[in-house]
Structure 1
Amino acid sequence: MADTAAAAEDAYWTGEARSAVRHGLVLVALLLGIDALSDQLALWRALLWVALGALLILVLLPARISATADRLTARCLWREHTVRTDLLVSVRCVDGVAHRLVLRDEPGGRVEIDPRVLVANPALWRLLDDAARVSAERGLLLCGGTALRRLARQVDAELARTVFRVSGLR
């Protein structure tokens, strides 16, 4: 089994959170600027624009993903969802407007994450993949092998592109 001291988290979360805040602040500044230029600025309108900007920040703020050798956790603003990756029973890719990876474990835990987080963070992917292999060896992971193989190909391709880019071969 994997080393229990191993841990990883989304290295890009801070930048994405900053971007969400920046987008919300730009929206508020634009709306306040339009109101000021049209001489319609009032306290109630300013409060409305600030509330709208805050709502945009909440919508855009990504979940903070972290993993250990046997757990994957997604921390949202008010909730935390954890799944035991060494006890996975299913992994599904849900396609739609936003692609999601849904992981379920034997005790009933459920986590939904954006697969791009795993592609962008090979350390997170390695911990998940190692634990999923343990689940498969135990006979628990009956649904999700195809989704994990497809994700493994994406992670490998992105890692190869990064190596070529850093080495100057591309």
Structure 2
Amino acid sequence: MRGSGTGDGPVTDRHWPGSARLAASCALAFFALTVLVDWDAGTLTVARAALWLALSAAVFAVLLPQRVSAGRGWLMTRGPLGRRVVRTDALVSVRQSGGITTRLVLRDAHGGRLELDTRVLAANPFLWHELDTGLRRSVHRGTLLHGEDAFRRLGERIDTETARAVLRASGLS
């Protein structure tokens, strides 16, 4: 898994390990606190401890973000419920949906469908580059039927955020 943008291997979300550790820490803290409160109340049993463990596992599953990776012509997300892959060089539609967080919905010509948080793309320039390159191939091949404008707007937003971050880091803003 490359992180520097060199080589031909897959690119992954560089922030995922920290997010996974945070999810595990929250689940562990939840388990410890519930068992401690139950023990202090004198009501802790093996069945109740198993219940707290199951609820902690559910907390972990809810908090664990999708793991996003990309390579030449593909994008994949893996989560607790499985993995989804789309061919970025054969996309037929790109759509943004969102309420609190904006999600990108991608569909390819082979029936693949994938949804991911746009913040992952904004925080990982190499993932964004792989997706952008694949989308340009889709446009060139004529498979992209819907969503080129939505993708262009997303690209402009990510480029603006990246430029602001560079200016902040350099002290110019």
TM-score by length of 1: 0.91
Q: Note the 1:51-70 alignment, pairs <5 A.
A: 51-70=54-73
How far did 1:7 drift? 3.3
* Paired AA for residue 72 in structure 2: A
Instruction: Tell me the secondary structure at the aligned position of residue 26 of structure 1.
Output: helix
How far did 1:169 drift? 2.3
CA distance in 2, matches of 1:125, 1:168: 25
Q: Which structure carries more relative contact order (alpha carbon 8 Å, separation 6+)?
A: 1
Number of residues paired by the alignment? 167
Moved over 6 A (4+): none
How far did 1:115 drift? 1.1
The alignment's C-alpha RMSD in Å is: 1.7
The answer on whether the counterparts of 1:31 and 1:49 sit within 8 Å (CA) in structure 2 is yes
TM-score by length of 2: 0.89
CA distance in 1, matches of 2:9, 2:138: 18
How far did 1:102 drift? 1.0
Gaps of 5+ in 2: 1-6
Q: Note the 1:136-151 alignment, pairs <5 A.
A: 136-151=139-154
How far did 1:65 drift? 0.6
How far did 1:157 drift? 1.9
Q: Note the 1:1-170 alignment, pairs <5 A.
A: 5=8, 7-96=10-99, 98-170=101-173
Change (3 A) 1:159 1:31: same
How far did 1:93 drift? 1.0
CA distance in 1, matches of 2:169, 2:99: 33
